[in-house]
Chains A and B, each alone.
Chain A
Amino acid sequence: MTVIGVDVGGTFTDLFLYDEATGKVTVGKVPSTRGNQSVGFVEGIRERIPLAEVASVVHGTTVGTNALLERKGARAGLITTRGFRDVLEMRRRDRRQTWGLWGQFVPVIQRDLRLEVGERTLADGTVLEAIDPAEIRAAARALLDKGCEAVCVVFINAYANPANERAALDALRDVWPNEHANCSSAILPEIREFERTSTTAINAYLQPVVGSYLGALETRLKEGGFAGDVLIVQSNGGVMTVDTARALPVRTALSGPAAGVIAAAAIARGAGFPNVITGDVGGTSFDVSLIVDGTPQLAAQTTLDFGLVVRTPMVEISTIGAGGGSIAGIDRGGLLQVGPESAGSDPGPVCYGLGNDRPTVTDANVVMGRINAERPIGGKLARLDVDAARRAIEETVAKPLGLDVMAAAEAIVRVANARMAGAIRLVSIERGHDPKRFALMPFGGGGALHACALIREVGLASALVPRFPGVTSAMGCIIADMRHDRVQTINATLDGLDVARLTADVRATAAALTLQLDRSGMRFEGVETLVELDMSYVGQTHTVAVPLALPDGRDLTAADVRTAFEAAYRGAYGRLLDGLPMRLLNLRTAVVGRRPAFALSTLAPRGGSVEGARRGVRRIWAEGAWHEAAVLDRLALPAGAVIPGPAVLEQPDSTIVVEPDMAARVDPLGNLVIERKP
């Protein structure tokens, strides 16, 4: 039987087919279909294999992300505590940017669809005023009359006691005609009303859209004879069933990028590199994430756009506006700037010849010979216009700075590299990690062009280029484990904490999440429970994440919690504040069902030789001079091959530049390891 990973991108959908019996891997790219993502990829699968032979389809989807960013979700309604209908729109009283007071915010649920009802719970969980079911039903009918397809209930302090929300949801379901109804304590029982409201409202906004997409996908697959499972990648890097995704579509907000990071972690572990920084260079952005001891780092909250806050655990991905399409120019002070403005992929860089005349990072790479103008990746263009790129750099950068055109091209790449290096420092050095212990894993089409420079700039140990940098996310789909997270606000001082009850809470939550795994019907090689506490000293508002190991055969003690907090706090800030009481804000529990490991060895090169891989030589510009660089077909290189720089390694989905002071070697799994020459 075959397992298929599917990653739908803006232009192409990547397929990764893995035959579990034979270990055979097939990689494919089909055009993405706008409107309904499933059309393109189901056809793509059927061209390669009968659907009846597919055991499971694991899908990284951008349906939810796109609906959110383009504000094309459903008409949704909100029922909330009297006096608080504007929490969603008032946000945390922020603004779009520090400087300049322009810019608006459009909430996902508009003001006339946010209705208030009488009810109140206090911070300690006391119910001051119970709900009136008749009032709830009237509000629901009013929302239906206004054309709402989904509804959610968010009450103040529901994290402390969900009783009013649950009662309201029950009353609501008497009249609500579909499954698109939920409440905040079921989705995120965590203190902070705006973040909880935003997450719950976005979930309602996405439910009809994601639900109908998944329904259509399942139908289309079944019609073709498919009898297996469909799994959806969550933002936390784990997979979930279609039923869970229908109820909690907010968890798909970063589905696609998360799969890429999961694959990166697996590749890195397989290659013996536990500590990796991934760097995905796209057209407009550079996405960075950190993998420590083989595990991707998660963030508790992500802001997808101004005011669009999703608070569910997500693979932490930092983005800066520096990609191949980033535009270079000179500002009024005479300083060279690269990005964040971007030419994107249309019109794209000057060398595309589609109408842009301002030079980009890609133009500089083309002029420096690092990108093959006669054989552009992606297959969209026949060739690139090097002369046009050179002219644009001459006019826009070289003349104003008094440089010759090659120095100007190099300057553009250096400034872009410096910005990417800054993003890497942000996730490594600023978090207390020593870059010397990390390897860079570039993926996306352009990542490996900049790998050598980033090794030097940041002081990284090496770079690890996966065998197929362009289909990393699709591969991640079949590697991802099944994972469910839950957070619960406790908000007690350590002195006042009922530790026995905490232990019971942890065990009960773990059991409930494990049951959710069991219901999926999947086979796991093991199940792991992860427990983390958000803690601080009393008086601090920011917390540190405190990993907690559950002791075998006995309950937790206050001393266990204190020891764990002090270790985490010391790691974060250096010094403890002895004598101050400690506070436990939230309990976070995750249960992970380990799926059978994918054998990376199936990707390893078979045969090949360095001589057979040679395609000739090309001049590339590096460090102020031209160098004669060997050009090789990367996929034709055998394991163990060593390629000293300067060299250019080409493959259909990526170009890798090995600079003169670096050397690359092919590891047994087919990854490329780039290091400084000895």
Chain B
Amino acid sequence: MIDPVTLAVLKGRLEQIADEMDATLFRSAFNPIIAEAHDACHGLYDAATGATLIQGKSGLPIFVGVMAFAVRAVMDKFGDTVVDGDVFIFNDPYLGGTHLSDFRLVRPYFRDGTLFCWLGSVGHWHDVGGNVPGNYNPAATECFQEGMLIPPVRLSAGGQTRQDVIDIILANTRLPTSAWGDLNGQINALDLGAKRLDALLAEYGAGTVADALGELRRRAATMMRSLIAELPDGTWSMEDFLDNDGRTDVPLKVALDLTVRGDRMTLDFSRSSPACAGPVNIALSTTVASCYVALKHLFRDVPANAGVMDPIEVVVAEGSFLNVKAPKPVGGYTETILRIIDVLFSIFEHVKPAITNGQAYGTINALSIAGHRPNGARWVMFSFYGGGHGGNPEGDGLNHGNAPISTATIPPVEILEAAYPVRFTQWALRPDSGGAGTHRGGLGAVYEIEVMNPEAEGFVFGERARFRPKGVLGGGEAAPTRFSYEGADGWAEPPLGAKMVGIPLSRGRRVRLETPGGGGWGDPLVRDPAAVARDVTLGYVTADAARDLYRVAVDAHGALDTVATARLRGTGA
């Protein structure tokens, strides 16, 4: 068995390799979704099973779980024909999760003629064809409307790059230069990973490194089992909803029954809605990966290693919208996995209240505005927008944070205005958007954008317009998403809440996106009145909300009336 000290040292060395692969792609990528928003990920995967062994720290959290399925898909298809120098590419979302925008590159790593492990790279490309620039098509009923679908194929065969494959892919995107730049970045990252592994194996020997990888997985499982064992035995249930599937305005249910027995946990989603016509379905691999992300937020010290899921069984019924097969559309997968994470945060108020928090804003609010420049060139401004995090045992939630599934940063207004014919007229926090609580939810935001091009089109794919982010332990709900746009007859809102394609825009017309805050934590009626007064002074909470939700009397400037507050709260003067 490997000695414990070498194990600790090798863990750091291996993580550094994955981190360095992340950093290389972030720096050299062409599209801001990778370069700025870090919607990408790299790792090392088991030679025999494809299971995640090591994952970079800065990559997109949701990919931690799904890349294992991607590697598995390559193994299943190519089996013994895999040779040194092969690189596989695909974006098939049913084989390895997520959506068509995420292009995966998988490369076998050989040592002395034997497959030692797999290296993987995944990145969200700017455009992969389909009906909607940027690929968030809330009206899709088949994946074919969402973009090109490339099954696992050889990008490189025995070290020879296949230009014909690259040509096919680049012919199917609106932004071929961007795609080519990102592809190059991903290839570079895999090359770098192989080079670093060469050095590490030369230093420690392949046997020792292989032992370390196996041992790290066993220890991740041990750690998770000991955390589960500390939870009370029992079964709890929780439900939450998606607004609709982008086609018909019918809510979709995410229902979870969580059972703890000793050191094992079952996450049963059987009571969830069946597959839907629109693009908020997800593949089974994606469901499993979202459970992992939620658990790692709750138990943040467990490693990014497949062993964490060994003591956990995830049950999803065939035919559920959380377990679909081709060609069901999956483009809006982010919304569904955020709801799974929300449900897990909420259910832990029963399982282990000390570690949970109010739900975060629960939607990535993908908004794109596209048009043609005077010279005919197409432009696509596509971004995800932020919202509040939930109140938590330590304090109020963070204002304007990123989604739990990512560590993405938002592009600056000035970069967007320099690149696209738009002008932001507001970029602000949204008062009263955080759920009330002993610890208030963080605030969402208001973004307002004016088009400066003669003609443009808008596309929005958001959620939480109908069902608000929930609080925990008595904390209140956050404000819902509100999207509106200036049409010919003044301001209007999409019939489906926060989903719409082909919004006609023209010079001087605006769109306005108001995002949810986070849910509250604990009873708002015991929040310190001074903290409520300060929230009013700072404009986080209005005086009306202070009175109605917190029963604290404050004037519009935030001056606290202690006598009136005592009367409101019934605590005597």
Which of A's residues lie within 8 Å of B, judged by CB? 83-87, 89-105, 110-112, 120, 122-123, 156-157, 159, 191-195, 331-337, 401, 403, 410-411, 414-415, 418-419, 422, 425-426, 430, 491, 537, 539-542, 572-575, 577, 580
Contacts and interface: CB of A to CB of B under 8 A. Distances in A.
A100 B345 CA distance: 11
B407 interface: yes
A99 B296 contact: yes
Interface in B403-462: 404, 407-415, 417-418, 423-429, 442, 445, 448
* Most chain A CB atoms below 10 A, which of B8, B23, B396, B408: B8
Nearest to A105: B398
Interface stretch (B74-82, B297-305, B318-326): B297-305
Given A85-B428, A430-B20, A111 B297 contact: no
Interface string B10-25: 0111001000100110
B529 interface: no
Interface stretch (B127-135, B250-258, B386-394, B477-485): B386-394
Contacts of B393: 102
Contact of B539 (A87, A102, A104, A111): A111
Contacts of A542: 26-29, 35
B427 A415 contact: no
Nearest to A192: B412
B338 to A, nearest CB: 12
Contacts of B429: 86, 89-90, 111
Given A89-B399, A89-B400, A92-B409, A159 B414 contact: yes
Nearest to B412: A192
A101 B417 contact: no
A92 B412 CA distance: 7
A539 B26 CA distance: 13
Main secondary structure of the interface of A (DSSP, over half): loop
A94 B425 contact: no
B181 A577 contact: yes
Interface string B93-124: 00000000000000000000000000000000
A99 B297 contact: yes
A191 B411 CA distance: 12
* Most chain A CB atoms below 10 A, which of B411, B413, B448: B413
Given A122-B423, A411-B4, A573 B28 contact: yes
B357 interface: yes
B407 A95 contact: yes
B401 interface: yes
Interface of B: 4-5, 7-9, 11-13, 16, 20, 23-24, 26-32, 35-36, 57-58, 61, 177-178, 181, 184, 188, 219-220, 222-223, 226-227, 296-297, 300-301, 303, 357, 360, 385-386, 389-390, 392-402, 404, 407-415, 417-418, 423-429, 442, 445, 448, 537-540, 558
* Most chain A CB atoms below 10 A, which of B16, B29, B296: B16
Contact of B409 (A89, A94, A120, A193): A94
Nearest to A338: B8
A90 B20 contact: no
B412 A333 contact: no
Contacts of B30: 537, 539-540
Contact of B12 (A90, A418, A541): A418
A333 B414 contact: no
Contacts of A111: 429, 538-540
Contacts of B31: 539
Given A101-B401, A333-B222, A540 B537 contact: no
A101 B222 contact: no
* Most chain A CB atoms below 10 A, which of B24, B395, B425, B428: B428
B258 to A, nearest CB: 19
Given A83-B425, A403-B4, A422-B16, 9 more contacts: A93-B409, A101-B397, A332-B222, A333-B220, A335-B4, A335-B219, A542-B35, A574-B188, A580-B177
B18 to A, nearest CB: 12
Contact of B401 (A87, A93, A99): A93
A566 to B, nearest CB: 15
A607 to B, nearest CB: 44
A86 B386 CA distance: 13
Contacts of A122: 417, 423
A93 B398 CA distance: 10
A401 B184 CA distance: 45
A95 B414 contact: no
B9 to A, nearest CB: 4
Nearest to B420: A123
A191 B424 contact: no
A539 B181 contact: yes
Contacts of B35: 540-542
B389 A101 contact: yes
A97 B402 CA distance: 11
A94 B389 contact: no
Contacts of B558: 112
A83 B448 contact: yes
A426 B16 contact: yes
A90 B398 CA distance: 10
A337 B8 contact: yes
B417 A98 contact: no
Given A415-B5, A542-B35, A157 B414 contact: yes
